[in-house]
A and B are shown apart, each in its own frame.
Chain A
């Protein structure tokens, strides 16, 4: 079965630290890739997406992600986190033969200490 793995369920960092959240998926074909963020008390919103082209994609609030096809990975990065980045982050994948479904990772709760 297709699946998405997020390696860390909880991450705690200090402000200004660098961030990398891992995401791996199990599907051999073409995929669309997404990172969503859910700030405390707010709805899920798109952080960035990859459909095709440059495998390094930039999103909102200084986040970026790199698609490495050979590793089936789409890791999220930010060079210097802020307290306001405290949130839950979800990786999601749409296999292109699925038509409709997003396959979700379990999420990573990120806490930034001021």
Chain B
């Protein structure tokens, strides 16, 4: 079974803090993705990576950055957290041209 793990299920941070969300997949997938999920808006793509050290902006990259130094790990960084970044963050991975496999999500609250 494909396993995608995320470092935290719940996270509470203060405005202005730097926040790191980690995602690890164990199936040697080339592509990895970070989404945020908000009620009524579905999933919105923040960033994706199609290979190590490669990254592409998604639909809503402002306020976020990413890092992929190893194939199995894809990190999302909130440089200076703001209250409008309170959301559920989902990581996914996939082999090229196939379905995405999701982690359990991190519910981030920024106070």
Which residues of A pack against B, CB within 8 Å? 9, 32, 34, 36, 42-46, 49, 90, 92, 94, 99-102, 104-107
Bound together, the chains give a CA A48 to CA B43 distance in angstroms of 18
7 additional A-B pairs beyond A46-B101, A106-B40, beta carbons within 8 Å, are A43-B103, A44-B102, A46-B99, A101-B58, A102-B43, A106-B42, A107-B40
Contacts of B102 in A (CB 8 A): 36, 43-45
- Cross-chain contact B40 with A101 (CB below 8 angstroms): no
Given known A43-B104, A90-B43, A106-B41, contact A101–B99 (CB-CB < 8 A): no
17 A-B pairs with CB atoms under 8 Å apart are A9-B40, A36-B102, A42-B104, A43-B102, A43-B105, A45-B102, A46-B99, A49-B99, A90-B42, A92-B43, A100-B56, A101-B58, A102-B33, A102-B45, A104-B44, A105-B42, A106-B41
Contacts of A9 in B (CB 8 A): 40
Bound together, the chains give a CA A107 to CA B41 distance in angstroms of 8
Nearest residue, chain B, Cβ from A45: B102
- Which of A99, A102, A105, A107 has the most chain B CB within a 10 Å cutoff? A102
Nearest residue, chain B, Cβ from A1: B59
